[in-house]
């Protein structure tokens, strides 16, 4: 009964709670136990569903013929560079916000549409912070490619969700079903904290990026081991 309960849809959770309480001979009028069990089952089944939603978005390749994809890409530019018009769809200007070449679509290969959605979410919900971090990423000595690092951090957030490391954080943040919004919020935390970490560490050059990325990854994994972990920008 319990094994099935962690795989059900939201609408079936209430019935599972009753079945478990009956199986374990727990009084049905024990409302406190019922409430906590209900929340726990929603969190466990919701975590699995969130992973599938994130994975499905990651599997969508960026398509320059898709109007919605293109609109999100242009929105990212406008959010980060409000005082500078994009002269063309394919242009070296994209390097100004940290893409590798003159067409950003090639940089989304690994993380698909998820990488773009994350970048847009951070820029839309934390616009001042995003512009400040973009500005800092142009530092003459400690600079890094803002968009490329952002996509790299999407991969980090995705891998932490996939291996279950985000459970404590999400269970503490959401008393019920975690949503895509909560994944995006965790991503925002990573972007903000990585920028701080990078400048505190003062790497000799961007050539050492992988080494410092791994160090940051280990730091985040350590924080997530705390059962009380809540890693959000609202803290």
The mean pLDDT values, 10 residues at a time, for the chain of 235 residues are: 79 86 85 89 91 98 97 98 95 97 95 98 97 96 97 98 96 92 98 98 94 98 95 77
Which of 59, 74, 99 terminates a domain? The answer is 59
Q: Would you mind telling me the total number of residues written for the chain in this entry?
A: 235
CB neighbour burial string for 118-141, b if at least 16 within 10 angstroms, e if fewer: bbbbbbeebeebbeebbebbeeee
Running DSSP on this structure, what letter comes out for residue 57? H
Q: Is the domain of 83 the same as that of 165? A: yes
**How many structural domains comprise the chain?**
2
Domain-ending residue, one of 29, 59, 89:
59
Same domain for 47 and 151, yes or no, is no
Assess if residue 233 is contained within a domain: no
Q: Residue 173 falls within a domain, yes or no?
A: yes
In the numeric block, the tokens 């980090």 are attached to 156
H or E stretch including 61? Answer: none
**Considering just the CA atoms, what is the radius of gyration of the chain in Å?**
21
Residues 77 and 185 placed together within one structural domain of the fold: yes
Same domain, 122 and 52: no
Asked, for residue 115, whether it belongs to a domain, the answer is yes
- 100 and 13 in one domain? no
pLDDT attached to residue 234: 66
**Among 144, 149, 182, which Cα is nearest to 50's?**
182
Q: What end-to-end distance do the CA atoms of the chain give, in Å? A: 38
Does some domain include residue 232? Answer: no
Looking up tokens 């954080």 gives 169
Name the domain boundary from 39, 59, 79.
Answer: 59
Q: Residue 114 CA to chain centroid, in angstroms?
A: 9
pLDDT of residue 27: 87
Q: In this structure, is residue 53 part of a structural domain?
A: yes
204: tokens are 């000799």
234 lies in some domain: no
Handedness of CA 60, 102, 203, 125 (dihedral sign): negative
From CA 129, how far away is CA 188, in angstroms rounded? 10
Angle between helices 127-137 and 180-201 (to 10 degrees): 30
5, part of any domain: yes
Let me know: does 129 contact 121? Beta carbons within 8 Å.
no
User: Does 34 share its domain with 72?
Assistant: no
Q: Mark whether 182 and 199 lie in a shared domain.
A: yes
Q: Give domain status of residue 90, yes or no.
A: yes
Which residue range forms the structural domain that includes residue 168? 66-225
Both tokens of residue 222? Answer: 């350590």
- Per-residue model confidence (pLDDT) at position 235: 44
In terms of domains, do 36 and 107 share one? no
pTM greater than 0.75: yes
* 28 in the same domain as 75: no
Indicate whether 89 and 178 sit together in one domain. Answer: yes
Residue 45 · residue 28 · CB < 8 Å? no
Domain shared by 71 and 118, yes or no: yes
Are 37 and 77 part of one and the same domain? no
Here the tokens at position 223 are 């924080």
């Amino acid at each position: 009964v319990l094994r099935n309960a962690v795989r059900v849809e939201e609408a079936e959770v209430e019935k599972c709670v009753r079945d478990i309480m009956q199986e374990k001979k727990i009084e049905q009028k024990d409302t406190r136990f019922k409430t906590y069990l209900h929340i726990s089952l929603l969190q466990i089944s919701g975590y699995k569903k969130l992973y599938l939603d994130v994975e499905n978005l990651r599997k969508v390749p960026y398509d320059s013929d898709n109007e919605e994809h293109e609109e999100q890409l242009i929105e990212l530019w406008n959010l980060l560079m409000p005082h500078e018009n994009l002269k063309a769809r394919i242009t070296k200007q994209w390097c100004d916000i940290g893409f590798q070449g003159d067409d950003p679509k090639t940089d989304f290969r690994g993380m698909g549409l998820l990488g773009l959605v994350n970048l847009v979410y951070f820029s839309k919900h934390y616009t001042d912070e995003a512009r400040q971090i973009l500005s800092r990423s142009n530092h003459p000595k400690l600079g890094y490619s803002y968009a490329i690092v952002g996509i790299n951090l999407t991969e980090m957030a995705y891998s932490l969700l996939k291996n279950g490391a985000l459970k404590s954080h999400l269970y503490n943040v959401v008393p019920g079903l975690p949503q895509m919004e909560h994944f995006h919020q965790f991503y925002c935390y990573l972007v903000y904290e990585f920028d701080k970490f990078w400048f505190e560490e003062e790497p000799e050059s961007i050539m050492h990026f992988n080494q410092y990325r791994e160090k940051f990854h280990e730091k985040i994994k350590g924080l997530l081991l705390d059962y009380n972990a809540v890693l959000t920008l609202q803290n």
